Each structure stands twice: as C-alpha cells, then as structure tokens.
Amino acid sequence: MRAGHAFLVLLPVALSLADCRREAPPAAGSGHPNVLFVTIDTLRADHVGCYGHAGAATPTLDALAARGVRFATAIAHVPLTGPSHASLLTGRSPLGHGFRDNGGYALPVGVTTVAEDFRRAGYRTAAFVSGFPLDRRFGFDRGFDAYDDHLPRGNDPRRQPYVERLADATTEAVLRWLSAPLPAGARAAPFFLWVHYYDPHAPYEPPADLRARFPSSPYDGEIAFVDAQLGRLLRRLEERSPRTVVLVTADHGESLGEHGEETHGLFVYDATLRVPWIMAGPGLPSGRVAGVVARGIDVAPTLLDYAGLPARADVEGRSLRAAAEGKDQADAPAYAESLFPQLQYGWAPLHAWRTARFKLIEAPRPELYDLGADGGEIRDRAREEQGRVDEMRRHLRAAMSTRTPSAAKEMDAETTERLGALGYLGGGGAPAPGSALRDPKDGVRLVTRLGRGMETARTDPAVAIRELTAVLDEDPKMLVARRTRAVAYAAAGQHAAAIADLRRLEKEGHLSAEDGIVLGDNLRFAGRSGEAIRVLERTARENPRFAQADLSLAEVFIKEGRRADAAAAYERVLGLVPDHIEALRGLGDLALLEDRPDAAAARYGRILEVDPADAGAMTKLGVVRMRAGRTEEATTLFRKAVEREPQNGEALLYLAGALAANGRPAEALPFFERALQAGQKSSMALNGLGLTRLAVGDRPGAAAAFRESLRLDPKQPDVARTLAEIAAASPSN
Ligand SMILES: [Zn+2]
C-alpha cells in the first residue's frame, strides 16, 4: 500500500523535473513585457472606488482601471488565503490543486505554478508576500528565483508575532529589488513579480491619519493605505519599467457582518467571493469594463497570454483576453467551496456552483440565489426552484467527481491521506448533503462568540477564556475554540491550563504545527524545559519546512545554557530561509553574549541589509560599537533606532547610557525617563537615571531613583552607599 503511494507520488516529480529545463531566455526587448501581479488580501470588490464605493480612497486602483480594463464580476474559489492563492497561481480550482485549507496543507509537488511557467520561458521571477498563510513552507515559493516572506516580529505583545508585514515595508522591499543591480552573469530578461499585501485583513488598524479619516470604517482605511503604497510601486515601475502588464485582484472579500459573519472563511456568499480584477499595460485597451464573469483560475492563463506565452494544458481556467478587448466571450461557471467549517469546527463543508446569474450552495439545507435580482443573497429560492437546484447540483457533483481524482495523482502522500480521511477521494465527491453535520448557517451565533474570543485572546484573556469556554460547552468539537483558549490561557499566565487544552488536541490527533509551538512555549514558561524540547523537536521533525519550531527550540536551549544547541537550531532555520531575521538576530545575540563582536556585527549588519528599518538590529549593532569604544557611531545608531521606534525601551536606554557616558547628562535625562516609561524598569536603568541626575545636580531626584533601584534589588552595596552619601551631604530636614 505504501509502495503504491510512493510510486504515484514519484511519477509526477520525475515529469516535473524533466520539464525544468529552461527554454532559451527571450532576448531583452523581444516583445515579452514585464508582468506585475498584485494580490490585496481580504479586499471585497464593492469597497473599491471604481466598483462603486463612494466613500473609498482608492485613487491608484481607480486610475489603473481608467487606463486599463476592469472586470465587473470577478470570483474567488475559496474565501481563504492559502487555497485561493493556490488557484490564482496554478489556474486550477481547489478540486484540481488539492490545497483545501490554511495550515495543514501545502501546494502538492506535482502541481505547476505560473511562476514556473514564467521562469521556464526565461523570465526573472520574484515574490514579496506579507502574511503568514503564504509562508514558503506552504509551497508558494515554487518557481520564484527570490521569495521574500520576511514577516517582522512586531513590538506589540498583544499581537501574534510574525503574522503580518505592513504595506509600506513590503513596498520598500519590492522597490529595493527593482533597483538592485542584476546578479553577476544574469542576462537582462523581463520579470514576473508577485506582490501580496495583507493590511485589509482583520484586525483593522490603519495608520493614525487614515484612522482619523475613516473613524467608523477602519477597514476602508486599511484599503486606502494599501492603495497609497501600491501607488508608490506603480510610479516607480512607470519610471523604470514602463512595459509592464499589471493585474490587481484579491484572494477573497470580507463579510463585514453580512449573513452574521464578521470576517471570512465560513460562508461562500459573494461578500467573501466577489473580488476586484483590474489590469492595465501593453496590449490592453483603456477604460473598458468587461462583463464576463472572471474567475480566480483565469488569472494565470490571462497573464501568460498577455506575456505572449502559452498556458499549460492542465490549467482549468482560460485567458480572458478576448473579453478584455471587447470581443464576445461566453460566461463559464465557477466552482467555490469552504472546507473550513468542516476542518476547523467539525461542521458540514460548503460547496457552491455559480453561473453568471445563479448560485447553488450545497449544505445540509441547500440554498439557491438569483444573483441578478438579489446580489446580497438574501432570498433563498431553493424550495421554489427545485428543478434548477437539481440541475446545478448535477454540474457541481460532476465537477467534484471528475476533477478530484486526477489531481490526487499529483498530490503528496500527506495531502492524499488528509483528503481521503475527509471522504474527498475515490470518486465519491463530497459528503452527502443533508448529512448529520451541523449546517454552518445554524452555527453562526457560535462563530460570533468564537470571533470575540479570538480577538481578545491576547488583549483581554479573561474575556476570551469566558467566551471560548461557552463555545466549547456547546460544541466541544470546535478545535479552533480550544486552540485559541490555550493562547488566552497562556496570555493570562495560566500555563497549566493552556498545556491541558493542547495535550487534549494532541490526544485527539489534532495538534497542528502551530499548536506544537504554543505547547512548547507554555512548557518552557512553566519551567518544564525537558518536555518543551521534546515537543518542539518532534514538531520540527514532523514539519521540516516550518522554521518556527527551531526558533522556539533555540530559546529553550538558551534558557538551559545550551548555547551550541541554540546556535545549531538557528543555523537550521537559516538552512530553510537564508536571511531569516530572527535566526540572524539570535546568532548575533549569542555572539554578543560570547564576546565575539565581529561575528555579532556581521549578523546584525545582515539584518539591516534585509530590513534597513530594524530598530532591534540597529540597537544591538550600537552595543557592539559602544564596546569597541566607537561611542559616536553607537550614539548615531541608538538615535536612529529611537527615531524609528520611539517606544523601544532598549534603544532608549542605550541612547541615554551612551549620552551619559559621553559627558552629556542633560541630554541623556529625558531618554532615561522615556526608557523607564517604556517598561525598562530595571535597577540598571534606575541607577543610570540616578547617576545622571546627580551629574546635573538633582540630588533629591537621584536619591529617589536609587531608592527605587534598591527596592527592586536590595543587594547593591554601592548604590546603598551612594544613597547614604547623598543623605549625609544634604542639609538636614
Ligand atoms: Zn486572505
């Protein structure tokens, strides 16, 4: 049985290796344009100005539509980031590519991406993504010469680290790539560049000016921010690479409360499936609105067409060039699904069949909508139009039973096993409608409570624990509620309770890679380092493309004083992701700890090459310079770090210390005070403040700082003595 599996898996690998021989690159100027493909996460079409949203601030997208083509109706196949991007990049529906849910799935090895097509044709390929679901471990890097998935840790302890890169930082990285010289020996060739922005994804927290401009709709503020950043990118392209085809779309929309859903993922209504599709550039007419229904699977063949390249035969979508140019092109039906309710909640999955006018949603209680008359999908017509339901169901079932098995041959064993376990393989199509599973529309009330719990898991864990416990009391199979409650317990410092929830998931066979990290971290915080190491080592072994396990492992090793093991874990991360910022930082910190300043400086310097705005690396490089006696250079670095992150306590403290040590106590004072306000309340910081106050003649202030320092750490004889001397020198009271 296993051998049979292995054979099926090996066959397409061999085929795709044979395909990897590149054709001769097209000579520069041979007519192939550059291609810029932009996906804006969570952008629903009707929140863009040119799609009719009066309150939108989207001048870049509106101008792009004015000089190019806009598809009035564009449809995503899945309301989830990973699966939908898989369709955009492969030209296949989820039935065809097999990537059915975020996390737990990866793009199967036998499925070809459009980036591979472009690379084979001699294009330079690069991608810049901004959200964790597109991390390279999910296989989206296939076909890209450069895949930049650097996500900053962030400085907000209420937020999960490494989840999002903001649009300005992503744009900076793209602009650096665009202006970098070609690698030595590389021939000038057109590029295929994919840029993904994540900002409109919840939580909606636009920069301050846009928050003020959109007080009641911060989601629109996030969209406006991305639009402005996209504007910067397009202006640079216009200057340097005017022959570029640009296509902007989204992976899915956002419900914003429609049908009781706040965000996306659960339902397959148009609120989360209708997205914008705007394109412009060489060969495209201007100011045209195309009426044909555009589907996610049509993106890849359309891009290839405009680049003068053929689409592969196994692509399910088609080029929409004819429609874009105003010629007749008939509508094609779209398949859509969400297995999220099944995989995450244990409820019934949703499958949909959408024609230009009607949509059938297959659920325990099926729904039918007339999109022409009822775009909001309010009035379910399934009962009164049974004939249409039956007919559309036949198409849906046919699609589900014919496409899945062919794709399954190209899937890796793990994906095949997962789909098999769900009943998606073997020609059966989907689990039968009317099954005993809960209909997602009946569970939406629970989802609202779950959403509240997820939002507050880090900011207000007591509320989150209450909400999530209520959800679990009603439906103990809701895995998301349990894994989120573990995060809330951890935030509340209740590590034993967090561990109990995660061990239960483990026992039931539902411990995801992310859960493994949370479990490892809780064990570490609970002082159970040995268990933490075992869990994290197993997570790393079972998820070899998942860098986070080794990062957490390194932290446990450091705590245990096993520096060589920590360094080895960081090096393994660099083996996966050569410029992983946190691994570079960890190795820099270890070198600093072991007094190897050159090695430390090299690591921090590398971080600043990748992300010149990294305040942490600036600060640590400043420490290295300080130790080498290069005080001025150090002070400059600390100052830059503080400018970049005015609340960075570490940078504030080092800047204050450097100024004080350099005979500038008056300048140092406010930075000591800001460092303390930013949470750097240590005896070291207080002693620095005390000495600096003494230097400017503020004896009472100095005494207060020393007293507080002694309260934190009474065993400081020097400080006690200084305090006594101040008291002795002061006039008696
Ligand atoms: Zn998304």
What DSSP line would sit under 533-582, residue for residue? Answer: HHHHHHHHHH-TT-HHHHHHHHHHHHHTT-HHHHHHHHHHHHHHSTT-HH
Whether the predicted pLDDT of 408 surpasses 70: no
Whether the predicted pLDDT of 390 surpasses 70: yes
Q: How confident is the model at residue 20 (pLDDT cuts 50, 70, 90)?
A: very low
| 483's tokens | 């894994």
pLDDT score at 429: 44
Q: How many angstroms does the Cα of residue 575 sit away from the middle of ligand 1?
A: 28
**Nearest one of 82, 115, 80, 110 to 96, comparing CA atoms:** 110
Q: How many angstroms does the Cα of residue 102 sit away from the middle of ligand 1?
A: 10
Q: How many angstroms does the Cα of residue 650 sit away from the middle of ligand 1?
A: 34
Q: How confident is the model at residue 661 (pLDDT cuts 50, 70, 90)?
A: confident
For 83, residues 6+ apart whose C-beta sits below 8 A from its C-beta are 77, 94, 97, 99, 100, 101, 102, 105
Q: How many angstroms does the Cα of residue 458 sit away from the middle of ligand 1?
A: 21
Q: How many angstroms does the Cα of residue 221 sit away from the middle of ligand 1?
A: 17
Q: Could you tell me what percent of the chain has a pLDDT over 90?
A: 74
Q: How many angstroms does the Cα of residue 444 sit away from the middle of ligand 1?
A: 20
**DSSP type of residue 482:** H
Q: How confident is the model at residue 416 (pLDDT cuts 50, 70, 90)?
A: low
CB 382 within 8 A of CB 389: yes
For residue 109, the one-letter residue type is: V
pLDDT score at 159: 59
pLDDT score at 244: 97
For residue 521, the one-letter residue type is: D
CB 92 within 8 A of CB 312: no
Q: How many angstroms does the Cα of residue 79 sit away from the middle of ligand 1?
A: 7
Buried b or exposed e, range 222-246, using 16+ CB within 10 angstroms:
bbbbbbbbbbbbbeebeeeeeebbb
User: Quick one: average pLDDT of 635-661?
Assistant: 93
User: Quick one: average pLDDT of 76-96?
Assistant: 96
Residues 616 and 601: their CA atoms lie apart, in Å, by 13
Residue 161's CB: how many other CB atoms inside 10 A? 16
Q: How many angstroms does the Cα of residue 638 sit away from the middle of ligand 1?
A: 37
Whether the predicted pLDDT of 155 surpasses 60: no
pLDDT score at 2: 38
For residue 256, the one-letter residue type is: L
Residues 453 and 444: their CA atoms lie apart, in Å, by 14
Length of the chain as a residue count = 733
Q: How many angstroms does the Cα of residue 200 sit away from the middle of ligand 1?
A: 9
Is cis: bond before 714, omega within 30 of 0?
Answer: no
Q: How many angstroms does the Cα of residue 693 sit away from the middle of ligand 1?
A: 52
Q: Express each pLDDT in 212-270 by its tens digit.
A: 999 999 999 999 999 999 999 999 999 988 899 999 999 999 999 999 998 999 999 99
Q: How many angstroms does the Cα of residue 226 sit away from the middle of ligand 1?
A: 14
CB 649 within 8 A of CB 679: yes
Q: How many angstroms does the Cα of residue 201 sit away from the middle of ligand 1?
A: 7
- 288-290 vs 74-75, strand pairing mode: unpaired
- 358-362 vs 367-370, strand pairing mode: antiparallel
pLDDT score at 23: 45
- 244-249 vs 277-280, strand pairing mode: antiparallel
Whether the predicted pLDDT of 52 surpasses 90: yes
| 554's tokens | 């390194």
Q: How many angstroms does the Cα of residue 715 sit away from the middle of ligand 1?
A: 54
Mean per-residue pLDDT of the chain: 89
**Nearest one of 519, 522, 525 to 538, comparing CA atoms:** 519
Q: How many angstroms does the Cα of residue 252 sit away from the middle of ligand 1?
A: 6
Q: How many angstroms does the Cα of residue 36 sit away from the middle of ligand 1?
A: 19
Q: How many angstroms does the Cα of residue 80 sit away from the middle of ligand 1?
A: 5
Q: How many angstroms does the Cα of residue 279 sit away from the middle of ligand 1?
A: 20
pLDDT score at 435: 64
Answering whether pTM is above 0.85, one says no
Q: How many angstroms does the Cα of residue 40 sit away from the middle of ligand 1?
A: 8
Q: How many angstroms does the Cα of residue 615 sit away from the middle of ligand 1?
A: 29
Q: Express each pLDDT in 503-548 by its tens digit.
A: 999 998 888 888 999 999 999 999 999 999 999 999 999 888 888 8
**Nearest one of 597, 601, 526, 593 to 563, comparing CA atoms:** 593
| 152's tokens | 């900053």
Q: How many angstroms does the Cα of residue 257 sit away from the middle of ligand 1?
A: 17
pLDDT score at 379: 97
pLDDT score at 414: 55
Q: How many angstroms does the Cα of residue 105 sit away from the middle of ligand 1?
A: 15
For 566, residues 6+ apart whose C-beta sits below 8 A from its C-beta are 553, 554, 555, 557, 558, 586, 590
- 244-249 vs 34-40, strand pairing mode: parallel
Q: How many angstroms does the Cα of residue 219 sit away from the middle of ligand 1?
A: 14
3-state helix, strand, coil in the chain (%, to 5): 55, 10, 40
User: Quick one: average pLDDT of 317-344?
Assistant: 95
Q: How many angstroms does the Cα of residue 683 sit away from the middle of ligand 1?
A: 45
CA 173 to chain CA centroid, nearest Å:
16
Q: How many angstroms does the Cα of residue 483 sit away from the middle of ligand 1?
A: 20
pLDDT score at 19: 38
**DSSP type of residue 333:** -
Q: How many angstroms does the Cα of residue 654 sit away from the middle of ligand 1?
A: 40
469: phi then psi, degrees, rounded to nearest 5: -65, -40
| 505's tokens | 């998931």
pLDDT score at 585: 96
CB 244 within 8 A of CB 237: yes
Q: How many angstroms does the Cα of residue 379 sit away from the middle of ligand 1?
A: 27
Q: How many angstroms does the Cα of residue 434 sit away from the middle of ligand 1?
A: 29
Residues 119 and 447: their CA atoms lie apart, in Å, by 43
pLDDT score at 413: 56
Q: How many angstroms does the Cα of residue 268 sit away from the middle of ligand 1?
A: 14
Whether the predicted pLDDT of 430 surpasses 90: no
Q: How many angstroms does the Cα of residue 160 sit away from the middle of ligand 1?
A: 17
**Nearest one of 569, 531, 562, 526 to 547, comparing CA atoms:** 569
Q: How many angstroms does the Cα of residue 206 sit away from the middle of ligand 1?
A: 17
**Nearest one of 463, 443, 440 to 452, comparing CA atoms:** 463
Q: How many angstroms does the Cα of residue 273 sit away from the middle of ligand 1?
A: 11
Residue 162's CB: how many other CB atoms inside 10 A? 19
Q: How many angstroms does the Cα of residue 400 sit away from the middle of ligand 1?
A: 24
